[in-house]
Amino acid sequence: MTVGKVYLVGAGPGDEKLITVYGRECLERADVVIYDRLVNRKLLRYAKPDAELLYCGKEPGRHDTVQQQIHEWLVEHARRGKTVVRLKGGDPCVFGRAGEEAEVLAKAGIPFEIVPGVTSGIAVPAYAGIPVTHRDYAASLAIVTGHRSERMDWKALAEGCDTIVVYMGAANLSDICRRLVAAGKPYDTPAAIIEWGTTERQRTVAAPLAALPAEAEKAGISHPAMIVIGDVVRLREVLQWFPEHQGGESVVYTES
C-alpha cells in the first residue's frame, strides 16, 4: 500500500477567516483531520463529508499522554495511505509542537509538509489595537511561553526587549509580572492580557505591568489568553478597532 502524507497546518488564532488559502486546500482534501482544542470548529466544515475527524484537545496535566496519542495517529493513518491534516491553532511551529511531530514522521519515513499559519502572538494583539512593533515604540520583539518561567532569562527580557508577547501565561500572570519587575522592567510599563483573541468572545484588560494581575482577576480573565508587555500597548487607546465581547469590562491603559 502506498504511504499517505501528513500536513501540519496552522489554523490561525481563532477567527475562521484567518486560515491561509493553502491551509484550507489541505483541509478540503484530507481523509483524516486531527484537530486541537483551540481550533475554530467552523473550519471543520471544509473537510470532506466522509473525512474522519479526531479531536485531540489537551487538558491540564494530560499533555504528554495526548501528544503520544497524536504521534501514533499520524503514523498509523499515513501508513494506511491516508492524507492526514494535523490542524493546530495559530502557527504550528510557534509552541505548537510541529517540530516534535515532524521528527516522529521523519523517523517513520512518512512524507509531510509544514503549512504555516497566522500566529496568535502577532494577530491577537493586532485585533486588540496593539501592533507588536512600531518605529516610535518598539524595534525588538520577544515571543515566550508562560509555562516555564524558571527557564527564562528575565533580566535579558526586561532589559533587551521592547515588546514581550507571552503565550499560555494566564495561569502564571502574577509570577510573570513579578519576575519582570524584579529583573528591572519598570513597574508602570504598559501591559495587556487578551482573552479569546480574534473571536466574538475577545476581551482585553490593559494596565501598568505591576497592576495587570489584579485587573485581570477583577475582570475574570482566563485562558486562552495572550499577554503583551511594552510601550506599544499605549497605542490601543487610538488603534482599537475590533468590537470586543461585552460580558466583561475592557480596561484601557492609563498613566499611574
- Is residue 58 part of the annotated active site? The answer reads yes
Please check whether the domain covering 120-239 is classified as CATH 3.40.630.10: no
The per-residue pLDDT for 15 is 96
Beta bridge partners of residue 204, listed in sequence order: 194
Place of cell 481523509: 31
How far apart CA 123 and CA 20 sit, in angstroms, is: 13
What does pLDDT average to over the chain?
92
CB 201: neighbour CB atoms within 10 A?
14
Same fold, 5-115 and 120-239: no
Q: Is 218 annotated in the active site?
A: no
Q: What is the pLDDT of residues 117-128, one digit of tens each?
A: 999 999 999 999
23: phi > 0 → left, psi -120 to 50 → alpha, else beta; which? alpha
Please tell me the distance from the alpha carbon of residue 223 to that of residue 65, in angstroms, as a whole number.
21
Mean pLDDT of 89-111: 96
Strands 112-115 and 32-35: unpaired
Tell which residue, 63, 13, 19, 58, has the closest CA to residue 226.
13
According to DSSP, the residues that pair with 88 across neighbouring strands are 10
β-bridge mates for residue 194, sequence order? 204, 226
Beta strands in the chain (DSSP E): 5-10, 32-35, 52-55, 83-88, 112-115, 141-145, 163-167, 190-195, 203-208, 225-229
Ramachandran assignment for 161, one of left (phi > 0), alpha (psi -120 to 50 degrees), beta (any other): beta
Backbone angles phi and psi of 77, in degrees to 5: -70, -35
Helix (H, G, I), strand (E, B) or coil at 165: strand
Of 82, 88, 91, 168, catalytic: 168
What's the pLDDT at 256? 30
Catalytic residue among 36, 88, 91, 152: 36
64 contact partners, CB below 8 Å, separation of at least 6: none
Distance CA 223, CA 193 (A): 10
Asked whether the predicted pLDDT for residue 64 surpasses 60, the reply is no
pLDDT above 60 (res 254)? no
Fold topology of 5-115: Cobalt-precorrin-4 Transmethylase; domain 1 (3.40.1010)
Domain ranges of the chain: 5-115, 120-239
CA distance 133 to 131: 5
Cα–Cα dist 148/200, whole Å: 30
d(CA 228, CA 122): 10
Tell me the C-alpha distance between 207 and 177, whole Å: 12
Question: Is the model's pLDDT at 253 over the cut of 50?
Answer: no
Model pLDDT for residues 112-161, shown as the tens digit of each residue: 999 999 999 999 999 999 999 999 999 999 999 998 767 789 999 999 99
Which pairing describes strands 112-115 and 163-167: parallel, antiparallel, or unpaired? unpaired
